[in-house]
Amino acid sequence: MASEAPGAVDGAARPASDSGDEGETVLAIVDYSAGYAGHAVVSGVSLALRAGEVVCIIGPNGAGKSTLLRGVTHDAQRLAGRVWLNGQDISEVPANRLASRGLGWVPQLDDVFPTLTVKENLAMGGYLLPRTEGKARLEQVAGMFPLLAPLMGAVAGRLSGGERKVLALGRALMTNPAVLLLDEPSAGLSPLMADQVLKVHVAALARSGVGVLLVEQRAIEAAAIATRVDVMVAGEIVASRPGGTIADVEAVAELFLGTGGSG
């Protein structure tokens, strides 16, 4: 069982439900349950993500959105199901090897090393890379986020919330991941900065070909850049919508209540 990817043959994971769509599935989470101390918080979740897509998970506080991402990175316990990255089963790959397999992630909290400088944080993100490659990648990443250029020598703990989040994105990108897990990148930011992070930076990452699995509270802003929006309630995906279709607060409320599942 465990050796058979969902529609994945020779590295081309393509769940059957996605037939007809363009692009390769870079991340597939299949029948996944995760939680803490043997107790499931998330149960039976399946989702797939292609290169260049943003799949956004929204849902009420405590629904299990972070737990799903934390299960993938082993910060929560995987209780059932499997995770495929680029057609390879990474369910049991230790956390410290996930980056070299092509997974990047930015947790909801503790996303940078506060006592290190911006440059040191980026270098830490690329610690797996050979020295010269690390230097080149650091310049590339700095080029992607011009905001960081004048801050290279600044201590990360003194950055504004938005600058810090951009640094966290940059750090996660140092290993050039195929898939990025982002847990509420706009949390605690001003509306303007939140918009900037989502609509400029996250959207640009996806355009560059990274598959982004995004957890967000700002459903309307996130939907604007998402390929698909999945709604999680009490640990299960209860509705799924194409991105861009959640244009107003009423549509979000409808989805949260689980009444918007079919049309």
Ligand X SMILES: Nc1ncnc2c1ncn2[C@@H]1O[C@H](COP(=O)(O)OP(=O)(O)OP(=O)(O)O)[C@@H](O)[C@H]1O
Binder among 25, 33, 66, 91 for Mg ion (CB under 5 A): 66
Question: How many residues belong to the site for Mg ion (CB under 5 A)?
Answer: 1
Name the amino acid, one letter, at 171: R
Interacting residue with ligand X among 63, 148, 172, 213 (CB under 6 A): 63
**From residue 102 to residue 141, what is the string marking binding to Mg ion with x (rule CB under 5 A)?**
----------------------------------------
Closer CB to Mg ion, 187 or 204, in the complex = 187
Helix (H, G, I), strand (E, B) or coil at 64: coil
Pair 172, 110: CB distance under 8 Å: no
Residue nearest to Mg ion (CB): 66
Token code pair at residue 133: 């490659």
Stretch that binds ligand X, among 14-22, 57-65, 166-174, 200-208 (CB under 6 A): 57-65
Using CB under 6 A, pick the residue from 4, 9, 62, 95 that binds ligand X: 62
Strand arrangement, sheet containing 25-36 = 39-50, 25-36, 77-85, 88-89
Q: Are strands 236-242 and 88-89 parallel, antiparallel or unpaired?
A: unpaired
Q: Which stretch binds ligand X (CB under 6 A): 64-72, 85-93, 198-206, 220-228?
A: 64-72
Identify any residues that bridge with 240 across adjacent strands, giving them in sequence order: 230
- Tell me how far apart the alpha carbons of residues 29 and 85 are, in angstroms, rounded to a whole number: 9
State which of residues 4, 11, 12, 36 lies at the interface with ligand X (CB under 6 A).
Answer: 36
In three-state secondary structure terms, 71 is helix
Site residues for ligand X per CB under 6 A: 36, 41, 59, 61-67
